[in-house]
Amino acid sequence: MSISRFNAVEKASNRKAVEAVTPEHKVSEYYGENVFNRKAMQKYLSKETYKALTHAIDNGTPIDREIANHVAAGMRMWALEKGVTHYTHWFQPLTDGTAEKHDAFVEHDGNGGMIEEFSGKLLVQQEPDASSFPNGGLRNTFEARGYSAWDPSSPAFIVDDTLCIPTVFIAYTGEALDYKTPLIRSIEVLGEAAKDVYRYFDEDVNKIITYLGWEQEYFLVDEDLYSARPDLSLTERTLLGHESAKNQQLDDHYFGAIPSRVQEFMKDLETECYKLGIPVKTRHNEVAPNQFELAPIYEECNLANDHNQLLMSVMKRVSRRHNFRVLLHEKPFNGVNGSGKHCNWSMGTDKGVNLFSPGKDREDNLRFITFVVNTIMAVYKYNALLKASIASATNAHRLGANEAPPAIISTFLGTQISEILDKFENSSIEDAIEVDDKKGLHLGFGQIPELLLDNTDRNRTSPFAFTGNRFEFRAPGSSVNCGSAMLALNSAVAYQLQQFKKDVEALQAEGKSKEVAIFKVLKAYIKESKPIRFDGNGYSDEWKEEAAKRGLDCQNSVPLQYDAYLKPESIEMFTSTGVLTQKELEARNEVKWEVYIKKVQIEARVLGDLSLNHIIPVAVRYQSVLLDNIAKLKETFGDDPEFRDMSEEPRRLVRKIAGHICAVTKKVDEMVEARKKANRLTDMREKAIAYHDSVAPYLDEIRDHIDDLELMVDNQMWPLPKYRELLFIR
Ligand code: ADP
Ligand code: MG
């Protein structure tokens, strides 16, 4: 139920901070207490089961049914002791967020009673009646047959009274219906490809691990103000609202203290995260008012992604306790910064060597350059695909819109690495490398300086920046599943590393030494991938022109950005790495287009309703007040020559308001017509394009008129909380 504006504003401004429930113990004592982690496994599983399970986790090997039965029994005992009554398979369908279906731990005992039951069969596989999850036609609704299967590499956890088991979600025909399945495939293939290349430099490696450290940005808004804004409640963004006179101009929020109401929320959130084993570490204000950020210590990519998914749902729950609503939408408010989810990405060996850290000796440095250059090369070749992997109706308001960075992928390396690559490119084999049997490899341009982590050498405008010992992919939106971007990046880099190995081998076959072959291939790659490197201001208009000249993908339309998934080179890359089949890619694109359509459709409906039922009636009412005033002025001063002057302002206002009322009414009608026309299209892609080209533009046009009206109509009459009321938590 929505409440009135002034009621909401009053409640919000009188709100006191709700004190956080902070445990008496140190974090180290309760960290992971709601996770079936190795400590719990050791306690609740037999030695053999523990060994078999951890071996499977560490090596990605299958688990047989007998072991699964033992694990299920241990898990159940652990959960029951914690008061848990239900369990669920927890998976990540192609919509936003996660899905779960809770079942009680009880079964008939055959004697009219009940027993607590949870077998290995239930742990390993389930059939959520999932016909309503988007599947792009892979699984028609008559069959509705998809199943979820246990992912032992991500530990089970407890939320409230429910044991949650991370699972993949697959159609009976074997196709992935989720993000997790292809993410795991991409991590595996990248691990193998990187290991093969790593062995050129160092034989001492068993496994390469992919890491992800996300930074989650979000907005908070008072619960009552949120309820008084149907657009926020239904679309998570304000579809109208004039900019506040003060917003982020002074940067005072970024540097300011965290408000106490928010501080208490953050404390509670962190406690919940620690119990769930999410290693959150930093919290701070962001640039826009009411905007904040939370970041954990980085973890293995699949686990980190599960933790981010889990965090988003925990945030929503905990925020309610503090009378807040958390907004994960990429652009809830026009005119202030949007929210992203920076994905810090790196690879490391099982011996703890970070592949993106320059090392102490020459071999390390060539290895470092090899992985950096191959990554840049992958980003270059697949820049359109990487953009498609983060494209959505909501993120589009952040990327490519007038006030945001453009929707163009480029990489920033910093002056030091750029100089090294330039030198590399321009050096000859003779002056760059001396292969000496005793001393090994010598890079002519000397050591790579240690100073790479220098913060001053950072470019905040780059969508894909090298930040010392990792790449930071900054284009993903705050509401997304990082899996989408990570699986595209992992696969592209894996494919590129495979190509690198082939190129090196080809030169070796011609009789070149390994070092010379590596040098030559890298040199060619550095030259080829140059267009993707950009160290200037990524937000400038000059860059848009320059990027187009360089042949980078500059497509601004989200439905057309998705085409990048189905280009022959993408299909080749995904199928040859085994991450996604052509059928899966096609089906997933259907889902993407459909989700795009629905998001715009809902926004169009909500804005239509708000225009006709909230805004126009109020504008008409205020117009009547003005007309009444003019009539009374005439009554009183009719013959006075000053009457014209006195009534000039109200008459001018009436005319303006009438103009806006007409425009809004007309445009809402046109928008409805545009929707009807688009809805007649049956091809998803065509329909999404129609929504983008002919429906979405009305959202901005209608809003402009309404935002002008907001400045004219009596403040007392305006029905919806204004930006200045929504945006400043005390
Ligand atoms: P900033 O805002 O300056 O980018 P933050 O501290 O907010 O820095 O976030 C940095 C993120 O990067 C954290 O999640 C951190 O764990 C992660 N990170 C640090 N080193 C690595 C690495 N080698 N691989 C992946 N992520 C990393
Ligand atoms: Mg960052």
DSSP 87-136: EEEEE-BSSSS-EE--EESEEE-SSSSEEE---HHHHHEE----TTS--T
Cβ of 297 below 6 Å from ligand 1? yes
- Alpha-carbon separation of residue 248 from 92, 254, 281, 334, 520 (angstroms): 35, 9, 26, 12, 50
Reduced to 3 states (helix: H, G, I; strand: E, B; else coil), residue 284 is strand
CA of 106 to the centre of ligand 2 (A): 46
Cβ of 348 below 6 Å from ligand 1? no
Return phi, psi of residue 179, to 5°: -90, -30
Cβ of 468 below 6 Å from ligand 1? no
Residue 435: pLDDT band with limits 50, 70, 90: very low
DSSP string across 41-85: HHHHS-HHHHHHHHHHHHHT----HHHHHHHHHHHHHHHHHTT--
pLDDT tens digit string along 696-721? 999 999 999 999 999 999 999 999 99
Are 427 and 333 within 8 A, CB to CB? no
Q: Is the predicted pLDDT of residue 183 greater than 80, yes or no?
A: yes
Residue of 298, 299, 466 to mutate, ligand 1, most atoms within 8 A of C-beta: 298
Q: How many residues are given for the chain?
A: 730
CA of 467 to the centre of ligand 2 (A): 9
Cβ of 519 below 6 Å from ligand 1? no
Q: Is the predicted pLDDT of residue 319 greater than 90, yes or no?
A: yes
Are 504 and 390 within 8 A, CB to CB? no
pLDDT tens digit string along 251-296? 777 777 889 999 999 999 999 999 999 999 988 888 888 999 999 9
> When comparing pLDDT for 138 and 494, which is higher?
494
Cβ of 453 below 6 Å from ligand 1? no
Are 397 and 331 within 8 A, CB to CB? yes
> When comparing pLDDT for 415 and 17, which is higher?
17
Are 444 and 432 within 8 A, CB to CB? yes
Residue of 208, 212, 214, 215 to mutate, ligand 1, most atoms within 8 A of C-beta: 215
The whole-angstrom separation of Cα 59 and Cα 57 is 6
Work out which ligand 1 atom sits closest to the CA atom of 212.
25
Per-residue pLDDT averaged across 452-469, rounded? Answer: 73
Residue 415: pLDDT band with limits 50, 70, 90: confident
Least reliable range by pLDDT among 158-162, 243-247, 494-498, 512-516? 243-247
- Alpha-carbon separation of residue 615 from 54, 297, 404, 612, 706 (angstroms): 60, 46, 28, 6, 7
| pLDDT (0 to 100) of residue 449 | 45
Closest CA to ligand 1's atom 24: 346
Return phi, psi of residue 210, to 5°: -95, 130
Residue 424: pLDDT band with limits 50, 70, 90: confident
Cβ of 296 below 6 Å from ligand 1? yes
Cβ of 354 below 6 Å from ligand 1? yes
Cβ of 213 below 6 Å from ligand 1? yes
| pLDDT (0 to 100) of residue 430 | 58
CB contact set of 203 (below 8 Å; sequence gap of 6+): none
Q: Is the predicted pLDDT of residue 450 greater than 80, yes or no?
A: no
Residue 397 per-residue DSSP state:
G
The winner for highest mean pLDDT among 96-110, 528-542, 598-612 is 598-612
Per-residue pLDDT averaged across 290-304, rounded? Answer: 96
Residue 129: pLDDT band with limits 50, 70, 90: low
Residue 174: pLDDT band with limits 50, 70, 90: confident
Angle CA(717)–CA(721)–CA(727) in degrees, nearest 5?
145
CA of 478 to the centre of ligand 2 (A): 13
Is CATH 3.40.50.720 what the domain over 186-196+204-579 is classified as, yes or no?
A: no
Domain 593-725 in this protein, CATH class: mainly alpha
Residue 142: pLDDT band with limits 50, 70, 90: very low
Burial class for 510, CB neighbours closer than 10 Å (0-12, 13-18, 19+): exposed
Q: Is the predicted pLDDT of residue 144 greater than 70, yes or no?
A: no
| pLDDT (0 to 100) of residue 131 | 61
Cβ of 647 below 6 Å from ligand 1? no
Burial class for 110, CB neighbours closer than 10 Å (0-12, 13-18, 19+): exposed
Cβ of 215 below 6 Å from ligand 1? yes
| pLDDT (0 to 100) of residue 221 | 97
The whole-angstrom separation of Cα 443 and Cα 366 is 8
Are 331 and 338 within 8 A, CB to CB? yes
Cβ of 282 below 6 Å from ligand 1? yes
| pLDDT (0 to 100) of residue 423 | 83
Cβ of 98 below 6 Å from ligand 1? no
CA of 672 to the centre of ligand 1 (A): 46
Are 94 and 590 within 8 A, CB to CB? no
Cβ of 216 below 6 Å from ligand 1? no
Per-residue pLDDT averaged across 412-433, rounded? Answer: 78
Cβ of 118 below 6 Å from ligand 1? no
> When comparing pLDDT for 479 and 540, which is higher?
479
Cβ of 295 below 6 Å from ligand 1? yes
Q: Is the predicted pLDDT of residue 393 greater than 60, yes or no?
A: yes
The whole-angstrom separation of Cα 724 and Cα 248 is 11
Written as six digits, the tokens of 567 are: 């280009």
Written as six digits, the tokens of 178 are: 């989720």
Are 474 and 330 within 8 A, CB to CB? no
The whole-angstrom separation of Cα 245 and Cα 713 is 16
| Residue spans per domain, the chain | 18-176, 186-196+204-579, 593-725
H/E segment holding residue 215: strand 208-222
The whole-angstrom separation of Cα 72 and Cα 712 is 65
CB contact set of 455 (below 8 Å; sequence gap of 6+): none
CA of 439 to the centre of ligand 2 (A): 39
Closest CA to ligand 1's atom 1: 215
Are 653 and 660 within 8 A, CB to CB? no
CB contact set of 710 (below 8 Å; sequence gap of 6+): 240, 241, 242, 718, 722
CA of 297 to the centre of ligand 2 (A): 12
What torsion do the CA atoms of 675, 676, 680, 686 make, to the nearest 10 degrees?
Answer: -20
pLDDT tens digit string along 621-651? 999 999 999 999 999 998 888 888 889 999 9
Q: Is the predicted pLDDT of residue 488 greater than 50, yes or no?
A: yes
The whole-angstrom separation of Cα 10 and Cα 730 is 12
The whole-angstrom separation of Cα 295 and Cα 303 is 14
The whole-angstrom separation of Cα 527 and Cα 522 is 9
| pLDDT (0 to 100) of residue 455 | 44
Q: Which CATH architecture has domain 18-176?
A: Roll (3.10)
CA of 216 to the centre of ligand 2 (A): 10
CA of 344 to the centre of ligand 1 (A): 6
Q: What percent of the chain has pLDDT over 70?
A: 93
> When comparing pLDDT for 483 and 129, which is higher?
483
CA of 280 to the centre of ligand 2 (A): 14
| pLDDT (0 to 100) of residue 441 | 43
Beta strands at 208-222 and 299-300: parallel, antiparallel or unpaired: antiparallel
| pLDDT (0 to 100) of residue 453 | 47
Q: Is the predicted pLDDT of residue 42 greater than 90, yes or no?
A: yes
Residue 140: pLDDT band with limits 50, 70, 90: low
For tokens 């010992």, the residue is 469
Per-residue pLDDT averaged across 515-520, rounded? Answer: 90
Least reliable range by pLDDT among 160-164, 283-287, 322-326, 570-574? 283-287
Per-residue pLDDT averaged across 82-111, rounded? Answer: 85
Residue 370: pLDDT band with limits 50, 70, 90: very high
Work out which ligand 1 atom sits closest to the CA atom of 356.
23
| pLDDT (0 to 100) of residue 439 | 41
CA of 455 to the centre of ligand 1 (A): 13
| pLDDT (0 to 100) of residue 587 | 93
Q: Which ligand is nearest to the CA of 298?
A: 1
Written as six digits, the tokens of 353 are: 């060597």
- Alpha-carbon separation of residue 203 from 101, 197, 206, 357, 362 (angstroms): 46, 10, 9, 18, 16
Least reliable range by pLDDT among 108-117, 380-389, 437-446, 569-578? 437-446
Written as six digits, the tokens of 372 are: 């950096």
Per-residue pLDDT averaged across 50-67, rounded? Answer: 89
